[in-house]
Amino acid sequence: MKKIPLLLAALAFQFQGAYAQQSVQTNNDDVILHSWCWSFNTIRENMKDIAEAGYTVIQTSPAQHCVTEVSRDKGGGNQLFGKGKWYYHYQPTDWKIGNYNVGTRDDLVALCREADKYGIRIIVDVLPNHTALNDCQVEDALDAAVGGHDNLYHKAGFDEIKDYNDRLQCTTGQMGGLPDVNTENPDFQHYYMTYVNDLISCGVRGFRYDTAKHIGLPSDPKDPKATQNDFWEVATGKKAVKGLTLSMPREDLFIYGEVLQDRNVKEAEYADAIGAVTASSMGWCIRYALEGNEWKKDEIATYCHPAKPSQLITWVESHDTYCNAHESAHLTDAQIRMGWVFITARQYGVPLFYSRPDGSSPENVWGNNIIGKKGNDAFKHPEVAAVNKFRKAMHGQPEMLVYSDNGKVVEVARGKKGVALLNISSEPQTISLATSLPNGKYKDEVSGKMFSVKKGILKGTLSPLTSYILVKK
């Protein structure tokens, strides 16, 4: 493993200072729980635990009408993978509230009311980019609203994307068999915004835009059916469509786009258009380190992204990295927890914790395999809760990143106020690291283990795959 000099600490501090001057929404204290495949009622029933674990935002699964059966699966089941399948709710049939996974509109209203009692915002995963694989399952009301079935799709909406780095193909073509919606059609925009405003009227206070990079920006080439690429202006309330606009000011809503990083993706432009986007490459870099490889320190220091750090949603894994090719499913909950402590202790980026299925393990990725039920208890592990609360307590404190020479221990120092330590190895590690903490003795918030600081050097021993939160009292 490559040795990493402590000089990085000073460099990281300088990087963050530069970003702080650029940021609009600096020092964001939010922490998101992705309650993946939990029903609205299940989330509501677990609200106290979620709040006590320090989350401020809950992201739900998609809420619109969706398919319940496909070819060779006649439906009738409630399994994450089997009869029911989690990805059915990513196949819209209409943009109206309610489906077999999350529940009804009344359930959503009850959830939002309960969340409000705890000061938690509910955001909903929305997906205007495509419809069900079988477009015959689209409901008549949707076809009628957009001026007929043909008007629902781009000209090339049934042509599979062959080159994802070709912007016209990427924003107007069929992705993975999912027909591409004509998001520039004003009739569709009006219909979709009616759905968004209904969610807001239920108490929803934000949205995660699925497959956002497949919806064109103003600078992108236009579909032959479109006169302008104005979807994001409409979706973020900058522009009305047929007299209808976002029913709440954009600044009062938590909105971000799933913009997976790749060649020729306009990452910074999407961040400015939507407000926030996903830092998917950073998640890969962290998983790479957790697998026993080196920390890509220079990339991680700048969040592996060209946009401002205050515009980023960070994660260790997402539901896609866990479910699709299971690229992150081999990591244990303890390994994921170490990555989580790292991203959550940092000054910028809003961290999102993906809730894995209940009963799951690297050997059994689907666990108990029931849609609508709570995920496993990893979301409220004491170390997770401790760093969630640390994030809020460190508001406004500049960060400094320090790595042990062998790369197995990482320190995230927040000014002179606190430190998060994490050992990503399966062996104990004794450290002697530069720190910004004042001289003194420090007790970990979870285990009570003691560490000491003398003349700017933090010393102590870390157990395998364990994190520590040290705060100046």
Give the pLDDT of residue 20: 29
Torsion of CA 53, 57, 63, 64, to 10 degrees: -160
Tell me, yes or no, whether 135 lies in a domain.
yes
Tell me, yes or no, whether 111 lies in a domain.
yes
Task: Give the helix ranges, DSSP H, for 118-210.
Answer: 140-145, 167-172, 186-202
Which residues face 57 on adjacent strands?
A: 32, 121
Alpha carbons within 13 A on the beta-carbon side of 129: 27
Q: What is the CA radius of gyration of the chain?
A: 23
What CATH number corresponds to the domain at position 265?
3.20.20.80
Residues designated catalytic: 210, 258
Residue 163 to residue 166: CA distance in whole angstroms = 5
Give the pLDDT of residue 27: 46
What does pTM read for this prediction? 0.93
Tally of domains in the chain: 1
Task: Describe the crossing of helices 280-290 and 333-345 by its angle, rounded to 10 degrees.
Answer: 130
Which residues face 418 on adjacent strands?
A: 414, 471
pLDDT by residue for the chain (473 residues), tens only, comes to 333 333 333 333 333 332 222 222 334 799 999 999 999 999 999 999 999 999 999 999 999 999 998 776 766 689 999 888 999 999 999 999 999 999 999 999 999 999 999 999 999 999 999 999 999 999 999 999 999 999 999 999 999 999 999 999 999 999 999 999 999 999 999 999 999 999 999 999 999 999 999 999 999 999 999 999 999 999 999 999 999 999 999 999 999 999 999 999 999 999 999 999 999 999 999 999 999 998 999 999 999 999 999 999 999 999 999 999 999 999 999 999 999 999 999 999 999 999 999 999 999 999 999 999 999 999 999 999 999 999 999 999 999 999 999 999 999 999 999 999 999 999 999 999 999 999 999 999 999 999 999 999 999 999 999 999 999 99
Is the distance from CB of 454 to CB of 387 less than 8 angstroms?
Answer: no
Residue 348 to residue 21: CA distance in whole angstroms = 13
Give the angle subtended at the CA of 411 by the CAs of 408 and 414, to the nearest 5°. Answer: 170
Give the pLDDT of residue 191: 98
Give the pLDDT of residue 28: 79
Tell me, yes or no, whether 368 lies in a domain.
yes
Other C-beta atoms closer than 10 Å to the C-beta of 49 total 14
Q: Residue 121 has which token pair? A: 């915002």
Range of the structural domain that residue 38 is part of: 25-396
- CA nearest to 266, candidates 296, 221, 208, 327: 221
Tell me, yes or no, whether 302 lies in a domain.
yes
Tell me, yes or no, whether 290 lies in a domain.
yes
Task: Give the pLDDT confidence of 125-179 residue by residue, as tens digits.
Answer: 999 999 999 999 999 999 999 999 999 999 999 999 999 999 999 999 999 999 9
Is the distance from CB of 313 to CB of 349 less than 8 angstroms?
Answer: yes
Tell me, yes or no, whether 9 lies in a domain.
no
Q: Where are the beta strands (DSSP E) in 164-253?
A: 206-209
Q: 32: helix, coil or strand?
A: strand
Q: Residue 222 has which token pair? A: 């236009």
> Which whole-number Å values give the CA distances from 149 to 16, 131, 190, in the listed order?
50, 12, 16
Task: Describe the crossing of helices 382-393 and 333-345 by its angle, rounded to 10 degrees.
Answer: 10
Q: Residue 295 has which token pair? A: 């920390």
Is the distance from CB of 210 to CB of 129 less than 8 angstroms?
Answer: yes
Q: 95: helix, coil or strand?
A: strand
Tell me, yes or no, whether 460 lies in a domain.
no
Task: Give the helix ranges, DSSP H, for 177-332.
Answer: 186-202, 231-235, 267-274, 280-290, 297-301, 319-323
Give the pLDDT of residue 77: 80
Tell me, yes or no, whether 223 lies in a domain.
yes
Give the pLDDT of residue 70: 78
